[in-house]
Amino acid sequence: MDPLNESAQALTPMRDGSSKDPFDHRRRREVLRVWTTPPRMVRCSVFALAVLLLLGPLSGCTLYSEFKGTQVASFELGDGPEYLDRGIGKGTTATDDRLLSIKLIDSTLDSVEFNDWSGNQDGGDAFRFEITITDTGEAEAPSYACVLATQGPDACLLAESVEDGVWALDESIHLYEHDTDICSTSCRLTLTVLNAELETTAEEDVNFISDEHDGNGPITHTYNVILGQDDA
């Protein structure tokens, strides 16, 4: 016998009013319940599917969010050495290029000092200056700590206009290569100025210094510039 016909006959009441299947009415109620799902449940299912479709493509994306630290001071491009009239340097094959000059224009602190990266000054008013070259194509962008000459610089030297260990208002400071060719051509440079190390300190407990927020986008602790290439 055809299985379809057999199934149909199993669900067909007998002429004497009985049924071949004592659970026939219960099954029909279940089928009826499935086909009469309330519209509200259908709408919820459609909404859940829409959310999944929207979130799926974003699973591999990084969404920029506002930095949770506290901005305690602001800077702008500073006065560079006499051979340049802007605060952004140029990359060459030399190992002593001036990379960036910035000027302190506003501060809520009594003084801004320069962190020696030993960890002993973290959490106070001494700030870590760090530059990262972000367009090298390397899996991990190279970063360099910038410290004063008296603090034993490695690849990046931080030079004051007034050598007193304090970054004063309207004072320009300069970041130089130190026996290292950090940027030999045009490159993208990111500067961070923090009073603690993010790897060991909660973001909301960190104070930072950056450029003035222009009201567009989230407040961030990073400052990004593009260094030109020396024409010589």
48 against 116, higher pLDDT: 116
- Mean pLDDT, to the nearest integer, of 63-91? 78
Q: Tens digit of pLDDT for each residue in 33-69?
A: 444 444 444 444 455 545 444 544 444 444 457 899 9
164 against 48, higher pLDDT: 164
Distance CA 175, CA 74 (A): 17
Which has the closest alpha carbon to 77: 57, 103, 56?
Answer: 103
Mean pLDDT over the full length of the chain? 79
Q: Tens digit of pLDDT for each residue in 141-157?
A: 999 999 999 999 999 99
**Residue whose tokens read 């299912």:** 45
What band does 207 get if pLDDT is binned at 50, 70 and 90?
very high
pLDDT for residue 174 is more than 80: yes
pLDDT for residue 15 is more than 50: no
Quote the pTM value.
0.70
- Mean pLDDT, to the nearest integer, of 175-197? 95
